[in-house]
Each structure stands twice: as structure tokens, then as C-alpha cells.
Structure 1
Amino acid sequence: MIPKPNVQSQPAARLPKSKATASTTAIQPLEITTTAVVMGDTCQGPEDPADSSTKQNSHELDGDVLHRKQSRHHHHHYLRSPASQATASVDNSPLVSPSGSMVSCTPPAISDAGFSVLPPPIIKIPSEAIAALQGAADASKRKATKRSPPSATTSDLVTLFESCFFSAVLLVQWSNIVGPKVEKIWSSEAMDERLQIMIGRQVLNGEVGRTVETVEPKWLVLYRQSIVCTAFLYTDPTAQSLCALIMVVPVRYLRNFSQYFHILRDRVPSQLIQPLIQLRKVHKRHEWPCALDQFTWSWLAPFIRSIMDLESVSLPIEYTRICHTILDHESRQLLDSPFIARVITSHLQTSGSTLIVGNSLTTINMMINTLALFLSPEERNRSSHARKNHKYMPDLYLQGILIQDMEGTSSQMERVVLESVIPTTIVDMTRLIVKQTLLLPQYHQLHCQYQRWLMRRKEDEASARPDSEWKKQALMHRTDSIAPIVQNLLDETRKVPTRLREGYVRQWHRGLVKRGLALVKYVQEEG
């Protein structure tokens, strides 16, 4: 019988200090790589099923290692290094130590307290290819999170829709098989499907079977449902069917909403219908729900915001006092200058659409009160006095902006003026310069080109393509012309007492409108 060697009586073998350091340096990259692969998912939150099964196998292996009988004929040398200490790994390294997530083997007691125990070897770990694929998937998730709209923007959109007088926006498409197909673009609250179908049938009633060449507005009041439907009929060339964009408004807002119907009639075809037709061409049916979401963010929300901004501004419907205008005796120096004659002439030529720019709110508002005498009550309702932090609103007839509140340079301001449907006059109160845009019909052509450029730019932003620059064109020109009828008005106004000047100007404006209508009627009869 061969006696068993006494292993415990032999002194434990120890590497020299230089060899221990060299071995630790060679093992340390392997330890960090192993830690990054195994523990990467621990820091990222929920685990994948494949990773959990891998970890379970690793725990089973570690359990086998624990219950496995230690060999008596082999000596395992455990080397200590500052890089393998648990405290150093937590404090100095962004990677989590594997000793915190796996069951570690209890090593034999080592007399040197200056070294810590290295973790046991890991037999099964995910391959580098799987780790690379998982990293790519995590990166794509992070990019998708960045592309999603922020919560603040979403809350702003919800607040906008809740504060407007629109209760729903529907899109109806006629089908010869199933009838009207109604899609809800947006609604402030839950809407019954039967009500949506009934609205679609009422809007398309009497319209099926004919071809709508242009966008046609349609006004519909449903008293039993207490709603007003403003529909815009058009023919979709991609779907080759009759469609309608419907804006639903409660009856209680009918009085306020009715005064903006002509604004919708002018703006909906270019700002809402054309984007819908273009999106239908690009996305077809398989991506149509995503296209409707893009339509809501890019076109519908800015359109509703521009309409609701008109509710916050207005000039008094009744005429202001003469002391608040330039027609007062205290403003005789400005009244006698040819500048005011040029301003009134251009103001009348551009259908009462004027933007006044200056440094003083008092001077700007005094000019606004003077030009408001040449507007109708409906046009004064769509005008605004100048105030701080006021931005340009293209749907206003008369408005004022401080120079410090202007967006960008003067060339950019001239481009923004193109958003207005009608020509515009720009009055510079600091330099006493009067500019005006092109008059009809040249302005209408340039306005349509600008709207098409805006639509292309939004499409480029949605598809991550580089934005196309707007080609600068001759839009504004300085005008020094004075109409003889305007000069005659100012000469006669100086002779009238101050208290009668307001009534005299109002009567003169009514006479001018009557003569204009008579001239139009004469041209129509002769033509």
C-alpha cells in the first residue's frame, strides 16, 4: 500500500513578485473583457430570455464547482492584484465586478493579505458576435428614442387641441363598395364611430358621382348633434376617389368660428389638402397611419395654432378718438409731410394689409389707429395694436412690430410676409420708408411658389434630406407714389375742424368703396 502524500504539510508554492505582476498584467484584459460581456446586461435593466438562460447555465456551473471535490494532487495559485479587488472595481471601473453576480468559490486561506482572490474561470460566455449584435440593437433603440417627440411637445400639442374650438378633424374617402370610409385624424375626446359615419354620409350626400376639379368648401350644420361641419371636398389622384377633410366645431362656438370661414377657404387648399395628396403619393396604404401622424404634427397643429392666435388680438370695433391718430392738431407736422400720403396710398393698394415697424409703441399704435379708419369693422377685428414680443401673423390686416422683436434680418422678414394671402405694405417709422409687395396677380403666383417650397422643406425634414433654400426673388420695392385722391383727402381734412375729421374720413372711405364697386360692375358689363 502506497502512502498518500501529505499535501497540507507541504509549504504553498508562491510566485516571485515580478512573476506575479507579469501574470496579473496578462490576466487583467481577459478579466475586463469577460466582465464586459457577462455583466453588460446587468446594468441595462430588463434581461433578454437568451441572456437569462446563459446566466442560469453559468450559475449551474458555479454550483458544480462548489460541490466538486477538491483535487489533492494539484495546487491552484490565486494571485492578488489591485485591479482584481472588489472595492477598486466598483470605485474606479465602470464595469461591474463578476463577483457580485456569481457565486464565488471560497479559496484556501493564503497567508499574504496584500492580494485578493481572482474570480473563478467562466466556462460558457456569450460569443463576441452575439455581444456585437446586442450592442447594435441597443444603439438602434437609443436612436429611436431620440427621434420620438419629447413629452413637452406632446403636452403642448394636447393643450393646443383642448383650448381650440375644433372638437375633431376627420378625413372621409368614398368607396363604391363600403360607402364612406372615415378616418379620425384627431379628436379632443372619444367619438362614436356611428357619428363619424353619419358625418361622412351627410358631407358626401349629393356629391358622389361627380369629379371635383378644385377644392370646394361645404358648410353643414347638424342641430341634433349640436355640431357644425366645415368640409373641403377634393379628388385624390392616388386613390382616384372623392375625399373630404372635415373640421367639426360645436354649435356654441358658431359665432366666433364663422368669421374665420373665409380664412379656412383661402388657406386649407394649400396648407392642408396639398400635403394630404402628397403624403398619399409617398406613403400609399401600408404606411398611411404614420403619414397621418406626420400630417398632424407638421401641418395640422401649426394651422390650428395660427387660427387660434387670431382670437387673442383685435382692434376696437368702434372708431377710436381723433386724438389717438395723426389727424389731430398736435400731429400737424407729420400730417403735412408727404410720408403719410404715401402710407395711405400703399395701404389702400394692398387691400388694407399693412405691417408697421418702429422703435416706439406709441408712434406705431398712433399710425395703426389712423390706418384703421380705412378698414371695415370685420377687418378691424382682424387687426392688432403693437405690443412687446409680438410676432408677425400673416392673417392680420393691420399690425405693428418693434424692431427688436423682428425675426432675423430684413430679407428674412420679407420672405415671411409671403405667408399672407394678399399683398402687404411695410412701413418703417424710423427711416420713413414705405415698401410694398407685388400686387395681384403677380403676388398670387409668388405666394403659391412659396407654399410649394414650404411643403418641400417639411418633406425634406421628415425624410432627413438636406433642406432646399428659397430662391430670393424681387418681392419688395420702395414706393413713393401718392394717389391724387389721397392728397385731396388730406388737403380737405386740414380745413375740417378736429372733432369732425373722423366722420369725414369714414364718409370718404364709404364713397371710395361705392365708386370701386361701380367701376367693377361697369367692367363686367362691358366685358
Structure 2
Amino acid sequence: MACNFEEGQGNEGDGLPKDTVHEGLISALVSDLGVDSFIEVILLSTWDNVVGPKLCHVWYSDQERCKIGEKCILHVASLTGRDLFHDGSEGEGIVSYKLLLLPQHDVVVNCYKFYGCLKDGRTTLYAFSILMPTRYLNDYMPLYQICETRIVEFTAKFRLFQFKNYQTAIEKIFNDLKAFLIHITAIVRGKLSGTLEIADTWLFSIFKNTTKEEIALLEKAITSHLQTCRCSIVIGSDMKQINKMVRTLAMFNSEKELQSSRINLEDDERINQSYLPDLYLQGLLMELESLPISDIVRSHRPTTIISLHNWEVYRTALPDQHASILQEILKIDLATLWINNNKVTVSLSPQMLTLVEEGALLIEEFLEEMKELPCITQIRAEYIEHFKQKVDTKTYALIEFIESERKQNNALSIDDIKTYLSIRNDNDLIVILATSEYYKPGLCSWLIGQPSLTGYLPSGGGNL
């Protein structure tokens, strides 16, 4: 869905019923989430055919520090409420969104519209609105996709709570909103983009005398990182070593992906021990046994886990299976919420995490060549870019080959694909297939699912 920038206007002479959100906020409508965040206010509003725009609830991130005044909050409630009056085109269950600029208040509003129900059970449109000072717009925009994902999820929960018990629906999403603010704020504080230097990575310190154990870990870590769409978690007990590995893997991510990644900060102990969903890269001061596997498998991308405790690498299902597993889990979540208000705990089975036992040949060769290079920042950085271009070139060739074969209705063969791309083993092919998801989403799943595909390609990771 496209992001719409609009400038909020007043409502003089628009022919709508008179606004009813002019009396000011009362304590029953206000909650304090107790989070130090650049997002200062979240509000819920709706349109009522009798009274017009209606403010349902206001959540302050930290009410004492909030600089956004009541007048602005009431104006946003009125503005979004009247917008809902005009907007009835989306189907039920669809969440649409809009970005509003309010220069008169120096505030940006991100509004998410969805269908919910009224006290009497009738269906109507609601809006969650996120308010922040305009100066934080550049920090917020790279996280737009993550915000949308989180809000769509707790909107689905809110709708379900409304239908079960309208009176308690608002209080039941308190923890979801608080976790959302902590999540977004932590990414902005520990963002990787603009701070990455090869001198801070293992790729700068790799030499001829680097141990076999270190090389083996790097081979498996980089291979799996690329195979899981460049999404990884690094766990350990030494924050500096964790950050060094995170920065090493970050050398293979795009600048846009680094804006949805974070490193550990010394003054952020609680976040350093908390998994944040849907990031490309993050480090955790945590033991493998303490990882929230049930949350990790709910990520919208497959994930690699690099343990600096035992120098092993694990991963979830690869792209061709991850989406279907996630969809199944989310269905179970909603069904369980309907029954007992608790999120289902997905049991950790051998199929959910796969031990990565070897790296791809192209990664092995890349590291061997890196060891021979002089320890000069520019030379090593340029060689990494050369390697990334090499992977991209093979990816473009794969996409072109598959599209050509499809047009000619030819049967696809794994061996033919390997021969065409000069690929020598399955791990190399999976790296290229996963990279193709960046340029041609769904290609990997489509290819693996073809009944005409001959040959064997391990998909890794299993069903629930």
C-alpha cells in the first residue's frame, strides 16, 4: 500500500455533524504507557453516526514528558473521525493507512484505519493514530513497514477482543502498545545505518593465521545469513563480540535493511536481553536455551541464529516454507485468543531450528581470498562489494533463466539451473534463491512448489 502524505485541515463548513471531541480529555480516556519514546501519543478514534467524530482512548508514551497538547490530540481525533466518515470503501478486515502532516502543531500523524464494532455489535470504522513531533519523521519513515506489521497484528487482536467483550477490549491491548513503543524506540536508538565501518568487523581482522574454528563459524554464519534473506540474531555473553559479529553480517545487507537493524548499547540492558521481531539484524545477551523461539518463528522473514556460546549456527525454515508456517501459526494464535485470551506457545520441535553444518562453497572461497588481501580498509571493503555484485549477477541470471523457461513451457530441472549458473552445490543455490526473494518476491516458493521440477533441493526446516 502506498504511503499518502496529506496536510491536515479544519472542518469548517464541510456539512458534517458538529464535532463532539471538544470537551477535553478525561482520566477515563487516558493511559500512560511509561515509555521514553519519540512517539508521544497513540489515540483510538471512530465515527459515530449520531454524535460524529468520537475519541475512544488516548495512550501517552510518558504523559509528564509529552509536548503534544490536548488541543492537538482533539484536533487529530476530529480529523481522523471525519476522515472515517468519508471512507467506507475498504473491505472488513483490511487495514489502510495515511500519513498526515500538521504544521500548525509541528506534529506528524500516522493513521491506521480498520473495521471494529460498537457496543451494540454494529460494525464501524476505527483509527489508531500515532503522533510524534515532526523532527522525528526521518527516524520513523525507514521503520514504516515494521510499524505497519505490528499495528496490523494488534488491530486483529483488538477486533477479536471487541467481539468477545467490548468493555475490556481497550485495556487488553495495553501491553501490546507498550511493547510496540519499546520496540520502535530501541531500533532508532541502536540503529546500524550510517555507523558501519569494516574495521569494526571480523572481515577486517581475518588473516592467514586465523583459526579453522573462526573460519568455519564465519562460513556457516554468512551462508545462513544470506539463505535466510539477510535476517539474523547473534547471541552471546560478550556485548563487544556480539556487536562485532552483527556488524560483520551487516556488510552483506543494504542500507535500507540496516535501518531496520540494531546493535547493543551499554546503557540499554533490558533491550539487550529482549528479542525485537522483524529486524534484519540484532544481538542478544542471552543463552540459546532462553531464546523466545515461539516469537522468532513468528517473524515475517526466516531467521539465522549465531551462538557465540558454542560457536554454532542455527536457522528456521528457509523462504519457501517459512511463509506457510507463519500463516499457520498466526491462525492458531487467533483461535487460541478467542478461546482463552492467551497467545499459544509453539513447542520447540527439531524441525523449527536446523543446525547449519557447513557453509556454501562461494562463501568459503570468498573468505579464503579475503585472508590473502592486505589489511587496508578500502581494499577489503571494495572486495566485499565485488562479492555482493557477483551474487546479484547470478541472481539476475537465475530470474532471467526461469522466466525464459516458463515462457517456453519447459520442465525445470535443478541440475539445469546449477549448470546454467555454474553452481556446484545446493548451499550455493539456496543463497541465490534466497537473494532472488529480494528482487522477485515469491520466486523461491514458486520454484520449489513446481511439480515439474526435477532433482533434489533440501528446503530445510519442517512443518509444525
The TM-score, its normalising length taken from structure 1, stands at 0.58
Tell me if structure 2 keeps the 8 A contact 1:364–1:386: no
1:220 matches 2:84 = no
Give per-residue Cα distances to partners, 1:488-522, cap 9 Å, x unaligned.
32233234332112221023224534653565577
Provide, for residues 259-305 of structure 1, a one-character-per-residue CA deviation record: whole Å limited to 9, x for no partner: 221111222111x2111111111124xx2xx421332x232122222
Separation of aligned partners in 2, 1:181 and 1:372:
46
Q: Are 1:384 and 2:263 an aligned pair?
A: yes
Q: How far apart, in 1, do the equivalents of 2:313 and 2:172 lie?
A: 41
| Cα offsets for 1:18-59 (capped at 9, x unmatched) | xxxxxxxxxxxxxxxxxxxxxxxxxxxxxxxxxxxxxxxxxx
Match of 1:260 in 2: 143
Q: Note closer, same or farther for the CA distance 1:340–1:183 as it changes in structure 2 (3 Å cut).
A: same
User: Pairwise mapping of residues 178-327 of structure 1 onto structure 2 (< 5 A)?
Assistant: 179-187=52-60, 188=63, 189-191=69-71, 193-202=74-83, 205=86, 207-236=87-116, 239-270=122-153, 272-284=154-166, 287=167, 290-295=168-173, 297-315=174-192, 317-322=194-199, 324-327=201-204
Instruction: Tell me, yes or no, if structure 1 residue 414 matches structure 2 residue 293.
Output: yes
Unaligned runs of 5+ in 2: 1-30, 64-68, 408-464
Bigger relative CO (Cα 8 Å, ≥ 6 apart): 2
> Partner letter of residue 260 of structure 1?
L
Deviation at residue 322 of structure 1 after TM alignment: 3.5
What secondary structure is seen at the aligned counterpart in 2 of 1:356?
strand
CA drift of 1:158 comes to 4.7
Assess, with a 3 A threshold, how the Cα gap between structure 1 residues 198 and 511 changes in structure 2: closer, same or farther: same
Instruction: Name the structure 1 match of 2:229.
Output: 351
The answer (yes or no) to whether the contact 2:294–2:345 under 8 Å persists in 1 is no
Q: How many residue pairs end up in the alignment?
A: 357
CA distance in 2 between counterparts of 1:507 and 1:316 reads 20
User: Are the aligned partners of 1:180 and 1:201 in contact in 2 as well (CA < 8 Å)?
Assistant: yes
Contact 1:174 1:242 in 2 (8 A): yes
| Contact 1:354 1:427 (C-alpha < 8 Å) held by counterparts | yes
Superposition pairs of residues 13-412 of structure 1, within 5 angstroms = 157-160=32-35, 163-175=36-48, 179-187=52-60, 188=63, 189-191=69-71, 193-202=74-83, 205=86, 207-236=87-116, 239-270=122-153, 272-284=154-166, 287=167, 290-295=168-173, 297-315=174-192, 317-322=194-199, 324-330=201-207, 332-334=210-212, 337-381=215-259, 382-385=261-264, 390-391=272-273, 392-402=275-285, 405-406=286-287, 410=289
Cα contact 2:164–2:338 (8 A) shared by 1: no
For the aligned residue pairs, the C-alpha RMSD in angstroms reads: 3.6
Alpha-carbon distance in 2 for matches of 1:352, 1:446: 19
Q: For 2:96, give the aligned amino acid.
A: E
Q: What is aligned with 1:152?
A: none
Asked whether the equivalents of residues 333 and 344 of structure 2 are also in contact (C-alpha less than 8 Å), the reply is: no
Contact 2:234 2:283 in 1 (8 A): yes
Q: Is the 8 A contact 1:457 1:467 kept in 2?
A: yes
Equivalent in the alignment of 1:504: 383
Q: Which is helix-richer, 1 or 2?
A: 1
| Matched AA of 2:170 | L
Residue deviations 1:313-368 (CA, integer Å, cap 9, x gap): 13362442447424435462248843322211101111222122334445433323
Larger gyration radius, structure 1 or structure 2 = 1
Q: List runs of 5+ in structure 1 lacking aligned partners.
A: 1-155
Evaluate the alpha carbon distance shift between residue 477 and residue 168 of structure 1 in structure 2; reply closer, same or farther with a 3 A threshold.
Answer: same
Aligned equivalents of 1:323, 1:304: Cα separation in 2: 30
Answering whether residue 374 of structure 2 is matched by residue 494 of structure 1, we say no
In structure 2, distance between residues paired with 1:524 and 1:224: 52
SS at match of 1:259: helix
What TM-score do you get using the length of structure 2 for normalisation?
0.65
In 1, Cα distance between equivalents of 2:200 and 2:40: 44
Please state how far the C-alpha of 1:370 moved relative to its aligned partner.
1.9
